[in-house]
Amino acid sequence: MNSCLVVDVGNTSTTLGLSRRGRMGSVQRLEGKAHTRASIDEALQRALGKHTVAGCALCSVVPASNVRWLRALKGATGTAPVLIHHKLNLGVKVRYPRPQRIGADRLANASAAIEQFGAPAIVADFGTALTFDVISAAGEYIGGAFAP
């Protein structure tokens, strides 16, 4: 069975991994948010190993790095990466006044919460900041809060 390569570019670090049968493996971490093409290629090579992937996805809150990561992902996997954003069908409806302002990481978390646990849900993510996201009983992302 093929895997899906997923990349989460955050403000503090970037995490890569292979998703297969609902489990993560081959997890790699790059500290910081400014990565060279060489460091990206090396991390991709370590994450992929000898695995072939059916697809890849990029979840990023650092827009300045998106083009570099998208190119590297396409080159490493031979498939066009999916960029996570608020217009993508992630299995969670967005009922928020300015959906374009919701971080891709927060939408991915909401999507995963609905997939794994159903709705309603509150998601807490302990990253650079502590974020809380609220999903209504109807499966709608309705907002959240963050703390340093």
Q: Which residues are identified as catalytic?
A: 105
pTM of the model: 0.89
d(CA 128, CA 137): 28
Q: Dump pLDDT digits (tens) for 113-123.
A: 999 999 999 99
pLDDT in the model for residue 142: 96
> How many helices (H) and strands (E) are present in the chain, helices listed first?
3, 9
What domains can you pick out in the chain, each with its CATH number? 3-83 (3.30.420.40), 93-147 (no CATH)
